[in-house]
Structure formats: structure tokens, C-alpha cells
Amino acid sequence: MDSKTRALLMCTLMIASALAGCLGGSDDDGGDEDVMGCTYADATNYNADATKDDGSCTYAEPEPEPEPVMGCTDPAANNHNAAAEADDASCDYGRSHADIMADYAAGTIDFGQASYELEVSRKCREQGSNNPCEIVEMSIGDASTIDPHDAYDSASGDVIEQVYDTLYRYAGDGTGNAIIEARLATGYSVSEDGLTYTFTLRDDVYFSNGDKMDASDVVYSWCRVLGYGSPDSHVGWILEQSFDCNDADGNHDDMGGLSFSVISDTSFSVTLFAPSSAFISTIAYTVGAVLNADLCEANRVDAGGENDDYCHEWMDEGPVGAGTNAYTVQTWVREDRLVLVPNWMYWESGDYNINRHTVSIVTEASTRLLAFTDGEVDFGSINIEHLVNFCDNLEDKPNVQSKSGYICSYRETFTTTLSVFNLHPNALDAGEDTSNTDANSSAVINYDCDGDGTNDCNVMETAALRTAIAYAFDYETHRRDTYDNSLAPQYGPIPTGFLYADTQTETFTYDLDHAAQLLDDAGFIRQYECDSLTHAEAPTVVAEADRTGDECRLPNVLRVMANEGNDYRIAMSSQLNEALGTLGIATQGDAKPWAEYLTMYYTRTWDIRFSGWAPDYLDPDNYWSPFAGGHSIGGDAYGSGYENQAVNDALVIGRTSQDDDTRRQAYVDAFAAWTQDPNMIIIGQYNGVGVKHDDICSPPYAAIGSAHWFDYDKLPMVNGELVGSC
């Protein structure tokens, strides 16, 4: 190399040597070598001692994302999987109601298979924490029977309307009015003379045991009402007033004789005694229910004559197979509880929102209040004075407001509160055991009705005594205070809102002086030693010279009857007892358990009975005839034994006439005759507030008939919130 190149090389080496000494030191400084390795802490081969990364780091494979749990995510499906995170389109809802029933009708599946498939398809699925598929109710009174042809109390009717069906029934129209809707019937026609009705029926209705219903079941059922004669309840009058069955032997082989004609499986006709503007309405009541004729005959006990039970013992508890409606009776422990479950063969389309309806009998108002407040029950027969716990603005009931968690509703009803008189009371057996159904063995005869000097009737048969009792009742106090202004005045049988209610005017008021004068004028003077009085035995007459004015007027004690659990009736009974006592009429008025109350009613072992009346059908005759019509014209539903010929004559005209003016005048005449000879105290018409929890969805209100649980819904509570809306 040349000298220039050598000089450049030397310069470069000198610079490199100087830099090496500044940056890393020389071997003479004693420094360590770099430790090579992976210096990244998240690596699987991380070396904590490495001072210099050598590019050797390795890393673990990432965890794979978990696969979602697949399944049916719809709670309404039969195979809902609560653990499923993603729907796999496997949801099974069962076959349609229509397809299952079509196969059953064709005979390709049997009753057991049909029932199973229908349950799978139609049942309510639990989706919330509030038991959304069950409604629990607390009632103050138990049913007396589930035989629709001998039941006339509301507790029985509330069950019967779930188990049995009728050709027509009442329903709400959504505006507060009630309308007639077709059920088992599809239509009817009427002959020109207004006497013969021809009905057509559905062809897809089965009893709960799978037997198919046809026209012969309807004819059999209606004729059973007349044949059996509703010996306990007297409800048969509703059909007895319209037709007969020409069926003296009681075997129904003639299927109604001349009055009925079975035209086909889906059609029949019936001929009435006289034209009736209310006939379709009458058969909408439970007494018109259709039962399984073949099963009734198979379970009928006929020992001849009056010992024919027309299958009542079998029908009494609503057995499976008897009816065609939405539910069957699963359990009935009398005076305790009753449980209804679905009749999966029910003809109406749609799924069940309620799989179980439980009624518990609780007479103590405070117990019902606590159970309702705690959410143990959905309905609870809440007393008027307890409504303040759930409702606001109760001083203006039509504009009541609901507190959080509840729905308060004002309802104007056609329910009448009344107290009926028994003109032919029976004595009690020895020991006064009113639970003995044979207690009607002897009538109380203690008055001389024909003036021949011999007792031949009962004091309750005298119009003056009954009129005096009507003036001893404090109407306004009970309407205002006992019922907290929930009773509107009602002066006669017809409630406000019905035709011809204006034919009645206020007649009876609270006037003890007038009542005493009526008794004096009729000869009911203070002459009996009060301590000697019983229900039927002869009293001790106090010598006229020894009388102090504290003696009793009647020769016996009057039994004033109310039922346990109904605090309003008990309060009214107590007031009447006290008022009659001041007049010198001895009474006995302890409240009775519902079963005993009904037994006393049926055996006529009472004198004055507090009760109520909800309409069977929306016609004035439905109040006049059962209230004051005699048994001779198919009336007297209360078994009072009242027969007033002038009243009867007017009511027959009112029932059968098709002329508006004629009907109106008939009820004017009936009222005029009745006020001179009353057989009951008519107290008021109930207009009040009902309350329920806010998860209950009700169908449109109708002021007639019972709740139909198939039409109800209960919104599920999920995570503390109600799902859906009514």
C-alpha cells in the first residue's frame, strides 16, 4: 500500500481503540460477559438471569374459546334447556291441538295417547318465581255440591262453571256489559209461534274421559233436572218454568217425549209451554249444564219412587268424565280445600295459562288478609275495611286507585243483599243438632190462622209479623256503615240497571214504633214468659194481672241465621236480633259454619236467613220469581214457602208477555201486592271494590256468572320483574 493509505488505516485503528476503552472497558478492567437468553417474562422459557435477549423466547399456545352450550332456549317449549346458551333450533312444542283431536276422532290414537299429547302441547310452563301456572284463592264458603242440577249457591257455581259447560253463557263485552256467547251450541232458530227452539251443536266436543258429546246428552241433562227435582237447592225451577219431559217413568228412554226431538247428533228441538223472552238466558245458567248421559245412567242408584238419585251421589264431586269444560276436580276436602286441574280434552282452542286452581276455605278475615298481603294467595275475599291496605281514594270508590303491586277495580254489580223469611219452619231434633239432615221431621205449628181456636199454622205465615220485621231493620246504617257505602238502595226485587226497576219505590224504613203498632194491631201482645220459649215447645202464658210489659210477643224463639266468615251478615243479624228484642220478639242468632248454614237452609230449620243473590240470567223475572214467586209457578228459590196469589198472577204475566207495557204493569202489580205481604227484607245492591295482585290478567268483566280460569293469565316474575303485560 502507499503511504497515504497506511496513514488512513492507522488513524482508523486508533479511533476504534479509544472507543473500545470508553464503552466496554478493556480486559484489564475485569468486567463480565453478557448472559444471553430469553428476557421476556411472559415466555415459557423466560430466563431471569439473562442480561441480553438472544431471540430464543417461546410462547404457549392460547386456550381455545369454549363452545357455547347448545339447546332449546325458549321457556315455552317442551324441551327447554335452562343451561343452553345458544339455540340449536331443536325446540319442541308438541303437535297442534287440532291435529291431535283429528287423530283421536279418526281413531288413529286412543284416549291415553291423546291426553298425553294434548298435555305436552297445551300445558302452561313454569317460567317465573311466582308460580305463574297456578292461581290460589281463599274463600269464606265451600261448595255444597258439584252437581250442576242441584246447586244454587255461588261457591258451588264457581266450581261447576269450570267442570261443566252450557249451550250458551254470559261473558263481558269489554265495556262493562254482559253478552250471551255460544258455547256448546253453534246457533238456534225459533218457530213462528215462539214455542219451538231448534239448536245446532258443535261436533268436536268430548267429555273429560274421551266420550263424545251429542244432542242426546243435552236432552238427557235437561230432563234429569226435571226428573230429579233438585230436592235440596230448588234450582230446577229455572228449567221447570219452560218445558216438561213427559217422562213419568224417569228412565229418559223417550228422550223428552213430545217436548223434545233429537234430530241428529248435532241438532235437537224443544217446545216451551209459552213464548219466553228469557229462555236462552235461562239455559246459560249452570242448571242448563250438559253431562255425560251414559256415565250418569251407569252410576245411577234407582231404588224406585223417591229413592232414585238420578246419579246425584256420583255427580256430587264432579267426577272425571262428567263434564266438557276446561277443568276437572283433582281433590276436594270439604270445608278445607278444592283443587282443579286441566281437562286436556277441552274443546276450546288455545293453551292453558293456568294448570292448577286451588281454593282454600278460610273463614277468619285476618288470616285471609295476611295470606293475601304476603303473596300466598292471588285472591282472598278481602273485607271492605281492609281494602285501605291495597287501594287509595276509597272515599270515591268509582275512582279508586291501586297501590304498587295491586290492581283495585270498582264494580257495579247486580248482586242483591237480603234476608228471607221462612213461613213454614221445621223444629230441631232433640239436642238441637242442626247437622242432622233429618231435622225437618216436624213443622212448627204455633198459631191459629183460620180463627177456629186451634193452632194450624206458624206465626211466620202472618203478613203483619213479617211486615213488622221489615220495619225493624236499619237499612241506611247497614248500607252506609256496615258496607262502607258499598250498598246502593234497592227497594224491590229488581236491581238498578234492569228493565222495570222503576216500578219499585221505597216502602220499608227503620221504624220500631210502627213495627210495634203493627204487632199490637195483629194481636201479638206481650204475654209469654220469655225464659220459657223454645223453638217449638208450648210457652208459658203469663196471667194478664201479672204482666210487667217485659213479656215476649211470640210463642217461640225465631232463629236468625248468618254464616261464619261473612262479617257483614253477622253484623246485620246482630242488629235485627237487638231490634226484635226491644219489640218483645225472642231470637237466636249465632253465626253458623257454611256447611251447617246450608244444612239448616235445606232442612228448613230456620226462621230468618241473611243471604245474597247474584243473577242467573239478565231478566227481571230472575229476581221476582225466585224471590217472591210461589212454588206453584216454579218460583221460591229460597224455600220460604211463600204463596201470594196476586203476586203469582202478576209474575206469570210478566214472564210470558212479549209486550213491554204489559210486562211493566205486571211488575207494578206484583210490587203493590208484595209490599202488603213481604216475604223478605231487601237491603241493597252491591257496588264495591275488588283487589288482586298485579300479575293477574283477567278477561273482560261481566256482572253475572263465575270466573272462567281458562280465560285468565298470570304473568311470570323473573328477576324481580313481571314479564309481559295483560
Q: For residue 445, what pLDDT is reported?
A: 94
Q: What percent of the chain has pLDDT over 70?
A: 92
- Band of pLDDT at residue 454, cut at 50, 70 and 90: very high
Domain assignment present for 393: no
Residues 239 and 342 in one domain: yes
Residues 196 and 285 in one domain: yes
Average pLDDT of span 292-318: 90
Residues 282 and 428 in one domain: no
The CA-atom distances, in angstroms, between 262 and each of 165, 214, 223, 265, 463 are: 19, 10, 13, 8, 48
- What CATH number should be reported for the domain holding residue 259? 3.40.190.10
The CA-CA-CA angle for residues 224, 229, 232, to 5°, reads 125
Domain assignment present for 621: yes
Torsion-angle region of residue 246: left (phi > 0), alpha (psi -120 to 50) or beta? Answer: left
Q: 3-state secondary structure string, 623-662? A: HHHHHHCCHHHCCCCCCCCCCCHHHHHHHHHHHHCCCHHH
Q: Which tens digits make up the pLDDT trace of 173-202?
A: 888 788 999 999 999 999 999 999 999 999
Domain assignment present for 84: no
Q: Are 519 and 583 in contact (CB under 8 A)?
A: yes
Q: Are 594 and 141 in contact (CB under 8 A)?
A: yes
Residues 548 and 427 in one domain: yes
Q: For residue 251, what pLDDT is reported?
A: 52
The CA-atom distances, in angstroms, between 92 and each of 74, 121, 379 are: 9, 9, 34
Domain assignment present for 146: yes
Could you tell me the three cell numbers for 322? Answer: 262428567
Is the pLDDT confidence value at 10 over 50? no
The CA-atom distances, in angstroms, between 383 and each of 14, 175, 496 are: 113, 26, 24
- What are the DSSP calls for 143-187, one per residue? -S-S-GGG--SHHHHHHHHHH-B-SEEEEE-SSS-EEEEESSEEE
Could you tell me the three cell numbers for 658? Answer: 212479549
Q: Which of 120, 297, 291, 110 is nearest to 210 (CA)?
A: 110
Could you tell me the three cell numbers for 711? Answer: 280465560
Average pLDDT of span 152-171: 95
Partner residues linked to 72 by β-bridges: 80
Number of other CB atoms surrounding residue 85 within 10 Å: 12
Q: Which of 54, 690, 4 is nearest to 411 (CA)?
A: 690
Higher per-residue pLDDT: 618 or 15: 618
Residues 114 and 236 in one domain: no
Helix (H/G/I), strand (E/B), else coil: 402: strand
Q: For residue 24, what pLDDT is reported?
A: 39
- Band of pLDDT at residue 306, cut at 50, 70 and 90: confident
Q: Which tens digits make up the pLDDT trace of 79-103?
A: 888 788 888 888 888 899 999 999 9
- What are the DSSP calls for 594-633, one per residue? HHHHHHHHHHT--SEEEEEE--SSSSTHHHHHHHH--GGG
Q: For residue 271, what pLDDT is reported?
A: 94
Radius of gyration of the chain (CA): 40
The CA-CA-CA angle for residues 615, 657, 636, to 5°, reads 40
Q: Which of 548, 568, 570, 551 is nearest to 560 (CA)?
A: 570
Domain assignment present for 275: yes
Q: For residue 66, what pLDDT is reported?
A: 84
Residue-number span of the structural domain to which 509 is assigned: 412-686
Pairing of strands 337-342, 267-271: unpaired
Q: For residue 435, what pLDDT is reported?
A: 46
Structurally, how many domains does the chain consist of?
3
Residues 333 and 435 in one domain: no
Residues 268 and 314 in one domain: yes
Q: Which tens digits make up the pLDDT trace of 63-75?
A: 888 888 888 888 7
Average pLDDT of span 483-506: 94
What does pLDDT average to over the chain? 90
Q: For 182, phi and psi rounded to 5 degrees? A: -70, 140
| Chain centre to alpha carbon of residue 645 | 36
End-to-end CA distance of the chain, in Å? 107
Q: For residue 265, what pLDDT is reported?
A: 97
Residues 648 and 706 in one domain: no
The single-letter code of the amino acid at 377 is V
Residues 481 and 623 in one domain: yes
- Band of pLDDT at residue 17, cut at 50, 70 and 90: very low
Domain assignment present for 535: yes
- What CATH number should be reported for the domain holding residue 420? 3.10.105.10
Is the pLDDT confidence value at 250 over 60? no
The single-letter code of the amino acid at 252 is H
Q: Which residue has the cell 448472559?
A: 35
Is the pLDDT confidence value at 541 over 90? yes
Q: Which of 418, 599, 575, 625 is nearest to 508 (CA)?
A: 418
Q: Which tens digits make up the pLDDT trace of 316-350?
A: 999 999 999 999 999 999 999 999 999 999 999 99
Residues 6+ apart with CB under 8 A from 281: 180, 617, 618, 619, 622
Residues 338 and 429 in one domain: no
Measured CA to CA, the distance from residue 191 to residue 638 in angstroms comes to 34
Measured CA to CA, the distance from residue 421 to residue 639 in angstroms comes to 9
What b/e string do you get for 268-277 counting C-beta neighbours within 10 Å, with b at 16 or more? bbbbbeeebe
Average pLDDT of span 561-570: 94
Residues 139 and 105 in one domain: no
Q: For residue 78, what pLDDT is reported?
A: 79
- Band of pLDDT at residue 211, cut at 50, 70 and 90: very high
Average pLDDT of span 143-166: 95
Q: Residues in the chain, how many? A: 726
Pairing of strands 196-201, 178-182: unpaired
Q: Lowest-pLDDT range, 354-358, 622-626, 641-645? A: 622-626
Q: Are 172 and 178 in contact (CB under 8 A)?
A: yes
Domain assignment present for 177: yes
Domain assignment present for 62: no
Average pLDDT of span 53-61: 89
Helix axes 645-656, 621-628, angle to 10 degrees: 160
Is the pLDDT confidence value at 432 over 50? no
Residues 441 and 509 in one domain: yes
